[in-house]
Structure 1
């Protein structure tokens, strides 16, 4: 079993190195004549594609096997980097985003299921949470390394990070192909999966509290995507950060998010989950507002606070949603929430990019702060006062 777990950890580490490219996404787009509105369109298509592909890929993974789904997902994801490297135009990038959306959709849920099957083979299912946590730690460690080297490489060879992105994730897929696991004897049929999906959607839409958490997710994910893909990198250039050092700030952000995620549950247990939800909205909203008013290197502190607040939200909202879901339909209910929120976020991102083109970064930051407080606050209110 140790050998198979090492393969899982190595595959996650190699995939984490892909931040060598993601750390300079926005600067790469802008340097190739892509406008902020077009960046919003690209990531909007990515979000919608991933959510739409999520619907059939879950059933595909259950029927043909989770290992097959993981490997195919990694290869399609890797293809995204190769397309960006060879064909760095708007049309090429759009094809790359579609490939990435399909690749990540194929991996969603399949990695945890494959890990479960590896542990089941040795009767060690109780170690699932520990193994998944270690795999995430290896990914995060690699992400720090990728962030540190990505920006300096981009400064002297702008397209090279995407070739390295392709190589790292492709190798991750090769490693995943070697994983041996316990093959379930009774695979679900398509008809049973469709029936489960139908019931799960009904349960999800019938819960006001879950819908409240989904509204909160829409508010904060829209903000996170716009900040990560449109704002943070050019904003750092504007306040005097050298291109080669953007990877350093990205590495610091990665480390902060890892620490915050690890301690989120302990903080929430002390201050309460309702208070924690308010913090997940107010901390990023105030940080973004301050970024709009302070145009100096001191604003890096506000960027770090913003990213910490976003990292704090993920485990808190996820835990609260998990408690509300029907155990036999958790995967479908989670998928339904993901699809709905991703489609809405995908439609909103081009509007955010267009706002930056028309009014600039600072005005957009103010609107983003208001958006988080207004829509995020509404989501919290629905959660607090809605029916289960």
Structure 2
């Protein structure tokens, strides 16, 4: 896609990826000394403001390991089982690095994390110092990897600017093809690097799609209300508004729209986690039915998705959701690299990651392979729509589970 670094002249491996048929049981007790085990470190916020997402990610890492163990373990290491050791970064930047070191000291051969972008930035930096591979589960700021010169860090999901590029390329066209008008847009976004980077990408690329931004409204993290911002958007009268938010921000936006009885022709979001969480958008009810959202998405058409989803629900009592899905896929990539390396030596695993091509993964995107920055050069952010209170992929066509409905 545009704004992606082109494929460099690296060797390419077809990975026999983890969990391709799968289901399973996490090996051993945490911290148990087992020299034959492969150890994955899970560095996520298990307490604090983003603990919901952190625990979803952590549980997905453990489930992917459990599935691989039930499927015979690491075949290239004579069926070695995977042990997951976990640490709580609380979403804090300084703890991202500290927990990485603790997990390496606990024997982690590879580390995954870390949900918040500040924690992920420090965690990946520390992994480079430790010379231990790090695969990002969740963490979308472009600056986490791009241009930092890290040698041991990799990200399967699109960075935030890339998600805005995908929005501009896919979202207006999808709505127009369904018979809608998408010539003007108003932006509502959280005023931090997540929201600002999204707005930058939309400003840069929406004009190429024939869309004019007629109003922008930002809001601080943790607002009490978004009434003022929604009023300003209503006065600008765009064809669509885009919401870029964490779960609470999207909830407040819908609440303000309900109170003001303001409904644009299209609520077309660029990366709102509010509308990627089944439990949350179902709580919001009919007001969000028909809403569209460009966000990293699990490929629901995969035969094994239902089995993974059912197991996650049984293990945790929650739906796997977007955070769990991309964290499961990141773990698949990490396991695939260990399988390809046939070793737990960090440099061997890192070499495998730098050259790997993972075709069988859980995300709705092409095969995962990394450029020199550690970014997935085939990363893709599909357009989803809430239809009858279920999330369906509506674009691009090769991943669509339904047609967009207006």
TM-score, structure 1 normalization: 0.26
Higher helix share: 1
Q: Which has the higher contact order (CA 8 A, sep 6+)?
A: 1
Higher strand share: 2
